[in-house]
Structure 1
Amino acid sequence: MPVSTEMFDLTGKVALVTGGTSGIGKAVAAAFVQHGAKVLVGSRNQEKVDAAAKELDGIADVSGEDPVAAGVSIDVANGGSVDRAVRKAVDLFGGLHIVVNSAGLMCKKPSFDLTDSDFNDLYNIHVTGSLRVAQSAGHIFREQHEGCIINLASISSFVDLVEVAAYASAKNAILGLTRSLANEWAKYGIRTNAIAPGFVPTDINRKMIEGTDRGRRIIEHTPMGRFGDSSEIAGGAVYLASPAGRFVNGHTIVIDGGYLASGIGDSVAPWEKDD
């Protein structure tokens, strides 16, 4: 029996995407709009918020004067800011059904040099920030007995990358947070999952992996022989948020071009020289 395209239809759903003005968050927001959802994108930079919302509204394949995308200034490190963003989604679009926790930052530093502030800042955004958004939206989800939370984990949730201990630790914590909320909140009709992207160049990591020895070694270890693209991560979010993913709860989907599966194999590095 073929799978209907309606299984991936998000028409009538409203999503809030933090970190939605660039990179993976923006790609997820675009994919949601293309599949029929209305989307509120947020970040701390109002100028970027306005530009992203305008761009997203322009790609919607719908007619009419009502926007399908809007922006909101949100700081996930501040509970009041999070609550205001959640209320704005409801006020603008009449409800809220999906949240994607994509806000993040990077700290590349030798572990001997890490400070308490380095660690706490990353945890406050990635982990506590994700919890703040989940809690605020969760009150709405619980009342309507329907909701989908998608957290952003990372390939570094599973493997070590040197000099990113604070980031890796936070992304490991996302796995535990995802499982805990999935286990506790399913009775309220709330599903919680995560996506762990492989190596995708974005604003927070591009200088670390593009044109660097680290990037060369990453591609060498990736069976598909390349970095990923943000749009390739977005498909996983559509699946988790759509009717196709309605029985998926507490899982982390890895989208990495085979990086975690790779052991010792043929070299696939594009710059490998012939003998």
Structure 2
Amino acid sequence: MGAVSVNDTTAADTAQRVAIITGANGGIGSAIVTAYRSLGYAVTATSRRMPESEDPQVLAVSDDLVASGAGERIVRVAMERFGRIDTVVNSAGVYIGKPFTDYTDKDFDLIVGVNLRGFFNIARSAIGAMLSRGEGGGHLVNISTSLVDQPNSQVPCALTSLTKGGLNAVTKELAIEFAGHGIRVNTVSLGVVRTPMNPETTPELVARHPLGRMEEVDDVVQAIVYLEQASFVTGEILHVDGGQSAGR
């Protein structure tokens, strides 16, 4: 048998990789779409109201992740367009901060629906698509908050902690469940991110981060790109919060 050249590649090695980004119309989500395109990925970008893209390698899908069958629909159109799914970044999320006894049933349905049902819908279908590939492999990234690990008496947000804490837990479970298939599952746990929806920098917000500044969208993107490229990292809750989770 002849020697195998180190330059030999398989079709799986050379195929363009494909990412699904949820919440892609938000400040963080849109930046994640740009980052994955810079990595050479084709992207299915989805949100409840997703504007069309002029980039032929970005498929815009408007859908509500909470709705029955939404995950299946998004995965199906991504597969029809690009033929495979390698990564899902679960960027869609809802935060409502208020005292626990002030939460309403409507608040509960919204937060649990987006943060947990939305995750379940897209992750279940996407992992199924990853498993359908003979070579296996894939990556799922969630976005959580360091308030799960380091509650703040000045920031009551029990339903956020309830749901994002669930994502932290399922990250580790799914990482172990699918490790044998080469599918990695990780989470980035954030502080207060300055976005178009949260543009204000105040002393109180800065003080939540021991490093002394608010988190920027680029901080989030860098962490996700690191996890994407760190092929031996799975089951990780990566705190990107300026030291917030370490204490004050």
TM tier, shorter chain? Answer: 0.7 to 0.9
Q: Which amino acid in structure 1 is aligned with residue 219 of structure 2?
A: E
More moved, 128-137 vs 107-116: 107-116
Aligned length: 231
Equivalent of 1:259, from 220, 223, 244?
244
- CA-to-aligned-CA distance 1:215-237 (integer Å, 9 cap, x gap): 42231242332111112211111
Aligned mates of 2:106, 2:179 — CA distance in 1? 34
Shift of 1:116: 2.9
Alignment of 1:5-16 (within 5 A): 12-16=16-20
Equivalent of 1:197, from 174, 186, 190?
190
Q: Could you say which structure has the higher helix fraction?
A: 1
Structure 2 equivalent of residue 89 of structure 1: 78
Aligned mates of 1:98, 1:29 — CA distance in 2? 12
Shift of 1:260: 2.6
Q: Which amino acid in structure 1 is aligned with residue 111 of structure 2?
A: L
Cα distance, 1:118–1:18 mapped onto 2, change above 3 Å: same
Percent identity, aligned pairs only, is: 32
Aligned partner of residue 153 in structure 1, secondary structure: strand
- Does the alignment pair 1:136 with 2:125? yes
Shift of 1:190: 1.2
Equivalent of 1:105, from 58, 83, 94?
94
Alignment of 1:242-253 (within 5 A): 242=229, 245-253=230-238
Shift of 1:158: 1.4
Alignment of 1:1-275 (within 5 A): 12-46=16-50, 49-50=51-52, 53-54=53-54, 57=55, 67-144=56-133, 145-161=136-152, 162-202=155-195, 206=198, 210=200, 215-242=202-229, 245-263=230-248
Aligned mates of 1:73, 1:82 — CA distance in 2? 12
Aligned mates of 2:126, 2:211 — CA distance in 1? 37
TM-score (norm 1): 0.78
Aligned partner of residue 246 in structure 1, secondary structure: coil
- CA-to-aligned-CA distance 1:77-120 (integer Å, 9 cap, x gap): 12412211111111112211100111112212221111233123
Structure 1 portions without partners, runs of 5+ = 1-9, 58-66, 264-275
Q: Which amino acid in structure 2 is aligned with residue 217 of structure 1?
A: E
User: Contact (CA 8 Å) 1:154, 1:198: kept in 2 or not?
Assistant: yes
Shift of 1:188: 2.1
Shift of 1:125: 0.9
Aligned mates of 1:21, 1:200 — CA distance in 2? 16
Aligned partner of residue 128 in structure 2, secondary structure: helix
User: Contact (CA 8 Å) 2:33, 2:43: kept in 1 or not?
Assistant: yes
The alignment's C-alpha RMSD in Å is: 2.0
Structure 2 portions without partners, runs of 5+ = 1-13
